[in-house]
Amino acid sequence: MINTLSISEFLQRGKTIPVADARTPLEFEQGHISGAFNIPIFSNEERVQVGTTYKQIGREQAILLGLDLAGCKWSGFIKQALEIAPDKKIGLHCWRGGMRSGAMAWALNLYGFEVYLLEGGYKKYRRWVLDKFTEQFPIFILGGMTGSGKTQVLEELRKQGEQSIDLEGLAQHQGSSYGSMDKLTQPTQEQFENDLATQLDEIDKEKPVWLEDESITIGKRFIPNPLWHQMRQATVFNMVVPLEERINFLVQEYGILNKQFLIDSTERIAKRLGPEQCRDAVLAIKEERIKDFIRIVLFYYDKTYRLGQGKRIPDTIHEVICGNTASAINAKNILNLIKEIHSFSN
């Protein structure tokens, strides 16, 4: 049986059954529905051949070429589908819900699969993603200077029943020049948006959702403008952690990283640090004086953070005094402050 579903119906169904993407590996790598599997009818090169034939000769000749190219692959497609959907229920789409997903659906249906086709294909899904960022969300921002342990506090808030989205986790970057941690690889902008929209779709809008205070860029990824503007207008709970505590926290994170990575990352921000500060920071790295290195670069990052906070509406910022970077205690203090604010306002 083949069922054609709207985007909302398809995504709901996709929570309980696997989703297969019939586009090429290159298209899939550029961006795909979160959690989807790739069963490409054509290779990257074959798709170019079919497209060229369509433009230069015509639709019918392109269809014949497509059938020739895919002809010996159908049993392989079915075997792949069985691996990801052994109960023979599967969601399916291509770029616009056209010939690729239609042909795949025909073959799977013939084998006995229950197939759910996305009307409008991945193109419709991308429209859904971009529309998601225009919705209004009850956002709380977790602020604090570099080294305050914001990511760890976000996790603690989640453990205590709060809603949160780890933007840096989705972007695979910690935001600074050192944010790749010498190991993280960022997704494409398109995939970052897809994964973010998926998490936003799961938010209960009757309760706050916590996001970390970020600049509009996280590494080379951009927070979508509509969401970014909401974040800038949202209430901020700003953790105030002593400098030495933040330095000690960062020593644990960055002290284990490759020296050359730290040097290269420092030199990328040389103009913003200043020539003398950059020189001293690089020397400290070489001499394994990690605390001194961190103290130097924190001066720049703290200044940048203060400038960003200065552009917010003062009444939206609430300071949370934190004696150290103990995430469980700091999360509890933040939630207690919220209770006090609500109690006072009532």
The residues assigned a catalytic role are 94
Q: How many CB atoms lie within 10 A of CB 33?
A: 24
Which pairing describes strands 163-165 and 37-38: parallel, antiparallel, or unpaired? unpaired
**What gap in Å lies between CA 186 and CA 192, rounded to an integer?**
8
Strand, helix or coil at 100? helix
List, in sequence order, every beta strand (DSSP E) within the chain.
2-5, 19-21, 37-38, 89-93, 114-118, 139-144, 163-165, 209-212, 217-218, 221-222, 235-240, 317-321
DSSP state for residue 177 in the 8-state scheme: T
Note the residue count of the chain: 346
Look-up of token digits 């770029």: 95
Distance CA 213, CA 140 (A): 9
Distance (Å, whole) CA 69 – CA 59: 15
* 150-186 burial: b if 16+ Cβ within 10 Å, else e: bbbbbbbbeeeebbbbbbbbbbbbbbbbbbbbeeeeb
Say how far apart CA 61 and CA 188 lie, in whole Å: 34
